Amino acid sequence: MSSSLYEKNVQEYMKITGKNISLYEKNSNAVLEKTKDDNYTIKINDFNREIYIHSKYSPIKEGERFVQKLSAYNIKTVFIVYGMGLGYHILQLLKYLHKGNSLIIIEPNEGILSKAFSMYDWTPLMHRDKTFIFTGTNAQELKLLLGEFINISNVDNIMLLPFSQYPNIYSVFYEKVIGEIKNYVSLFKISKNTREHFWEQFNKNFFNNLYSIFYQGTINDLKNKFSNIPAFIVSAGPSLDKNIRELQNVKDRGIIFSGGRTLPTLINHNITPHFVVSMDPGIVDPGIVAYNVLKDYGDHTIPLITTVVSNDTVISEHQGDAFYISNSEYRGLVKYFTQRDMDILPLGASVANASLSIAVYLGCNPIIFIGQDLAYTDGKYHADSCSDTTLKQDGEDNDLIEVEGIDGNKVLTNSVWHTFLMWMEKFIYHNSHKTYIDATEGGAKIHGTDIMTLRQAIEKYCLKNEFIQDKINTIIKAKKIGYQDEKLQRLLMNLKVDLEKVHKISSQGFKEAHQLLNKENTDEKDIRRLNLFETQLNDLIKRNEAVADILLRIINDIDTNNEFIEKMNESKEEKCRRLINRNVALHKKIEDTAFNINKLVQSVIDQDIEIIKIFQCSISFV
Amino acid sequence: MNQRAEKMEVIQTLVEYTGRLINGINEAVDSFHEGMEGKGMDLVVQIIDGLKWSMEAISLTLDVQVEPIDISEMIEPFNAMVEALENMDYVLIGDILEYEILPKVEEWNQKLILTIGA
């Protein structure tokens, strides 16, 4: 134990986290004690009982035992260790980790981490890629940290390893850790399932929306065009009925964003929003619900902000101008067809989440939420003025979560709203240069917002006419594109030809991989042969960014599937088997997808020919 | 049956019993290490009962043992165990079982086997 070692750890930790661990040393309830094998253990005084964190006989053996618990994991598994202690088990664990493994160590007791800092040089661990030592019991900080590590590709690949009796000693925080992990798993599983289930619908929407995408504006046309103008994000929470009338006073002194559900309510109150935001791909709930609400008002001319994969019926019925947001999985397709910049924004899981992100992108400040209860205010699901207030989802009653309300009391929410809330708080945290006002006047507390009534917010921030409508009209005028149907036809034909090539390669790849499934003693030669098909696909990926979008998404899905990720210490035979299975799944998926997308491409080509025919027909009549 | 024969029979039983006790202690140690404190504690209750019976039987058969067993060695681990149980310190309970009680019971078992073989 040396003081220079301690200082080195403390300084490095402070540099990374901003937290000075030495401040916790003085009032620490942890003391070091020599063990029988001449190492150290920690004894803590927990409510007048003395408890050992490590074995007082052989902490090293205890560390070795800890890693014996490791079962099926792979090179991308995220490890979350609850309890750092003096870190004997962490040193053992590191021997088994691949550089691709993320590692979060949670030490609830800062005094214990301080002791660990006096024992060993932890700076290499602090600098290890994808690694973080979290200390303390701040659930909000933990939530944000987990958000940095858990994502859609590893949500099925997380291993929580509680050390020693940490779950008993620090049981309250342990419950929170489990709760937060579950929340993220649920959040990303929703996204993952949405993506998987809706992909076909997304593709259909994209190609059906293609004409509109080609000719309409992009979100970039609006970027920072409304700097420091207040934004009002109107949601359909039960509290909306309390203050919606106040919005009439905003006029052109603030931008009003409406979702589909709130649009009829606003119109009925003689309030015309500046933008309607629609994100739903629209097949099953909640998309279809929002669409049904919107459909009677679908032919409005209010500018629509939407994504390239939003519901094609909403897009085709909408009579006004549109601004498109790209999608990370369609970036290449968008670029291929439009040759224009179209940004991707973080959109979250709800229209309000998306509207928040859009408002920040447009430069708005402050951002004011109304009707954003995210909780059952007065036992209601939505505002009475918005449709289907009595809507109940299956199993809703079993899905209640207690969260902090705006008045500090507890309110009930459900896992879906909680997901929206978490997303919003994370977004606000990462965009803290703006001011956020919760003028809902009810519901769940959104951390990072100031709470005031809508009237107060309007009086404080809506001080002058911003001529918003004029600005929007100018932008719309500037973005108009002339007739370019032939160019679009040519691009569609090229894509069709390349997708036919993809289909042919993957059909053969699938056939050969499938034959290997029944072959005994497969070897690396077989795998090299299979790799040739992927090499051919990679050539097409490099040549055509639209093809790249379609294929890379499939390849990424396959490569984040636990079944196909390299196992730790797998044998050559296991490796061959895994790679053959991967090729079977990969080529099957690519073969089917290329076929299906080509049908969509053909339908757009046919649609274009119809338009040309009508156009020619109308010319001959003239 | 004379008294010595009866005592030898008790020792035979003790050999088998301490063998089972060793397995039980190992199982309890594993349970604590795997975070299954409930199962570990159930086993601890049975282990303590088993140790009490073994110590009584060892005392009664002391005069026939080839290498007499000193059961007083178990007093200190017992006291440490009582304190660990009061504090619900599962790490220490596991430690005492593994590093204090288990080696002694294994030693008893060996000494008892020696008596039977003599």
Q: What is the mean pLDDT of residues A164-187?
A: 92
Does A435 contact B at CB distance below 8 Å? no
Does A45 contact B at CB distance below 8 Å? no
Residues A483/A271, Cβ–Cβ less than 8 Å = no
Task: Annotate B40-95 with DSSP letters as a single string.
Answer: HHHHHHHHHHHHHHHHHHHHHTGGG-SS---GGGGHHHHHHHHHHHHHT-HHHHHH
CA B86 to chain A, closest CA, distance in angstroms equals 8
Could you give the CA distance from residue A144 to residue B109 in angstroms, rounded to a whole number?
Answer: 56
**Would you say how long chain A is, in residues?**
622
Residue carrying the six token digits 């035992």: A65
CA A27 to chain B, closest CA, distance in angstroms equals 22
Q: How confident is the model at residue A289 (pLDDT cuts 50, 70, 90)?
A: very low
Q: Using a CB-CB distance cutoff of 8 angstroms, which residues of chain B are in contact with residue A55? A: 91, 94-95
| Res A382: pLDDT | 67
Higher pLDDT, A481 or A473: A473
Give residue limits of the domains in chain A: 3-169, 196-479, 485-621
If one counts the domains in chain B, the total is: 1
Does B108 contact A at CB distance below 8 Å? no
Could you give the CA distance from residue A163 to residue B90 in angstroms, rounded to a whole number?
Answer: 12
Residue carrying the six token digits 């507390």: A445
Higher pLDDT, A282 or B88: B88
CA A50 to chain B, closest CA, distance in angstroms equals 6
Does B88 contact A at CB distance below 8 Å? yes
pLDDT at A621 over 50: no
Q: What is the pLDDT of residues A382-404, one digit of tens each?
A: 666 665 544 444 444 557 888 89
| Res A560: pLDDT | 87
Q: How confident is the model at residue A286 (pLDDT cuts 50, 70, 90)?
A: very low
Q: Using a CB-CB distance cutoff of 8 angstroms, which residues of chain B are in contact with residue A57? A: 95, 98-99
- Closest CB to B89: pick one of A51, A58, A69: A51
Q: Is B83 exposed, middle or buried (0-12, 13-18, 19+ CB in 10 A)?
A: middle
Using CB atoms and an 8 Å cut-off, which of residues 69-108 of chain A contact chain B? 69
| Res B66: pLDDT | 93
Q: What's this model's pTM, rounded to 2 decimal places?
A: 0.70
Q: Print the SS3 string covering A560-621.
A: CCHHHCCECCCCHHHHHHHHHHHHHHHHHHHHHHHHHHHHHHHHHHHHHHHHHHHHHHHHHH
Does A504 contact B at CB distance below 8 Å? no
- Closest CB to A52: pick one of B33, B37, B91: B91
Residues A235/A214, Cβ–Cβ less than 8 Å = no
Which residue of chain A is at minimal alpha-carbon distance from B99? A57
Which residue stretches of chain B have pLDDT < 70? 1, 118
Q: Is A521 exposed, middle or buried (0-12, 13-18, 19+ CB in 10 A)?
A: exposed
Q: What is the mean pLDDT of residues A440-450?
A: 94
Q: Using a CB-CB distance cutoff of 8 angstroms, which residues of chain A are in contact with residue B90? A: 165, 168
Interface test with A, best of B36, B91, B99, B101 (most A CBs within 10 A): B91
Using CB atoms and an 8 Å cut-off, which of residues 32-61 of chain B contact chain A? 33-35, 37
Q: Which residues contact B113 (CB under 8 A, 6 or more apart)?
A: B15
pLDDT at A216 over 60: yes
Is the peptide bond between B103 and the residue preceding it cis, with omega within 30 degrees of 0? no
Does A56 contact B at CB distance below 8 Å? yes
Task: Annotate A406-468 with DSSP letters as a single string.
Answer: TTSSEEEEEHHHHHHHHHHHHHHHHTTTS-EEE--SSSB--TT-EE--HHHHHHHH--S---H
Helix (H, G, I), strand (E, B) or coil at A491: helix
Size of interface A-B (CB pairs under 8 A): 42
Could you give the CA distance from residue A612 to residue A620 in angstroms, rounded to a whole number?
Answer: 12
ipTM reported for the complex, 2 dp: 0.85
Interface test with B, best of A168, A174, A178 (most B CBs within 10 A): A168
The closest alpha carbon to A45, from A169, A201, A181, belongs to A169
* Residue contact A52–B33, C-beta within 8 A: no
Could you give the CA distance from residue A366 to residue A259 in angstroms, rounded to a whole number?
Answer: 19
Q: Using a CB-CB distance cutoff of 8 angstroms, which residues of chain B are in contact with residue A170? A: none
Q: What is the pLDDT of residues A322-360, one digit of tens each?
A: 999 998 889 999 999 999 889 999 998 889 999 999 999
- For residue B108, give its domain range: 3-117
- Closest CB to B95: pick one of A49, A56, A168: A56
- Closest CB to B87: pick one of A36, A49, A69: A49
Does A164 contact B at CB distance below 8 Å? yes
Q: Mean pLDDT over all residues of chain A? A: 89
- 3-state SS of chain A: helix, strand, coil percent to 5? 55, 15, 35
- What is the CATH T-level fold of the domain A485-621, as seen in this structure? Methane Monooxygenase Hydroxylase; Chain G, domain 1 (1.20.58)
| Res A562: pLDDT | 87
| Res A494: pLDDT | 95
